[in-house]
Amino acid sequence: MNLLITGGNGFIGYNFTKYVLANCSDCEVICLDSNTYAANIVEISSSRYHFVRGDIRDGALVGGILADYDIDRIINFAAETHVDNSIANPNLFVETNVLGTAVLLQKAREFWGIGGDNLYFQVSTDEVYGEIDADGAKFTEDSIISPRSPYSASKAGADLLVKAYFDTYNLPVVTTRCSNNYGFYQHREKFIPLIITNALLDKPIPVYGDGNNVRDWIFVLDHCSALWSVLTAGESVVGKVYNIGANCEMRNIDLVKFILDYLKKPASLITFVEDRLGHDRRYAIDATKIGTDIGWRAESAFETSMIATIDWYVARYGERK
Ligand SMILES: NC(=O)c1ccc[n+]([C@@H]2O[C@H](COP(=O)([O-])OP(=O)(O)OC[C@H]3O[C@@H](n4cnc5c(N)ncnc54)[C@H](O)[C@@H]3O)[C@@H](O)[C@H]2O)c1
């Protein structure tokens, strides 16, 4: 497999790159990443790994990579991902997430032509489904696409382009929509790293609104194993969408308390701040289909993996008190 991983220096992309190199001895991995502020700048020393710094919107660059490395699989993680930033600067999200995906799809189509054992894999999010009430049914792959933030709208736009390339050009594609990830190598602006690093400094922990918003959490390595299962499942996944989740719903306030308890920090650090504009109330993923079709299910226990995550950030940032 000659695999192009776009956004491979980001939180999930970097974990996935390491996962592939560890689990596939005959995979050549090409990482294309523009190294935005969100990227991890880390070395991967493997003769099967090649890094290209560049932008997914650069069609000439993307086309050159596909040809030079004879790419037969593309998995697209590259995106602007922080909802708060999307509220401040929505156009950047449209440019990277929608236009970037459009360039990748078009270059894949031009390079692969018709037929062949190829796959374009779009890594998407449950946020494209919008929000659900506290007692509403979980999102399935048939839930309507109803994004509510510029971030999720740009991801939804990209998902629809992927669908269009399948319906119109028969490009072999698959899309996954995962719930919120936690784990190693996530940027400090995101909720869990922010809680941990602020707590370590005894700084206030900002919690939006009343803290009762519910997120459905999955350990990043479970997400990676799900992506790998889909990537290697063969032709049966082509044209399909799979939800990925670990049945782990939690109120934001309870997550903050769990982390503070573990770090032995006082709940008085919690500071409720004005709610995010259009803040989605609850996400919850029904991941039955990926289990039935491919046999994947999440394996990590929340407490164990969350503690490993906290320990990782403490080891990385703890000494900067
Ligand atoms: N983090 C989550 O909980 C979560 C959940 C479900 C889906 N996703 C999706 O997974 C993907 C990865 O998310 P993440 O949390 O790892 O994101 P991230 O922000 O940590 O990483 C994104 C990476 O993309 C790169 N990038 C950004 N714009 C680029 C461009 N124009 N060209 C090339 N590279 C570019 C960045 O440099 C960075 O390395 C995203 O598509 C996101 O929508 C994330």
**Taking all residues of the chain, what is their mean pLDDT, rounded to a whole number?**
96
Q: Answer for the pair 138, 286: CB distance below 8 angstroms, yes or no.
A: yes
What pLDDT score does 321 carry? 45
DSSP string, 68-122: HTT--EEEE------HHHHHH-HHHHIIIIIIHHHHHHHHHHHHH-SSSS-EEEE
- Active site (catalytic) residues: 126-127, 151
Output the pLDDT for position 43.
85
Find the mean pLDDT for residues 9-38.
Answer: 97
Share of residues in the chain with pLDDT > 90 (%):
93
- Residue to probe by mutation, ligand 1, list 4, 41, 65, 77, most atoms within 8 Å of CB: 77
Residues lining ligand 1, Cβ inside 6 A: 6-7, 9-13, 33-36, 38-39, 55-57, 77-81, 96, 100, 123, 125, 155, 178, 180-181, 187
pLDDT tens digits along 47-104? 999 999 999 999 999 999 999 999 999 999 999 999 999 999 999 999 999 999 999 9
pLDDT computed for residue 320 by the predictor = 45
Question: Which numbered atom of ligand 1 lies nearest the CA of 218?
Answer: 3
Output the pLDDT for position 37. Answer: 96
Q: How confident is the model at residue 319 (pLDDT cuts 50, 70, 90)?
A: low
Confidence band for 315, pLDDT divided at 50, 70 and 90: very high
DSSP 217: E
Residues of the chain above pLDDT 70, percent? 99
Domains along the chain?
A: 2-181+217-247+284-299 (3.40.50.720)
Per-residue pLDDT of 208-260, as tens digits, reads 999 999 999 999 999 999 999 999 999 999 999 999 999 999 999 999 999 99
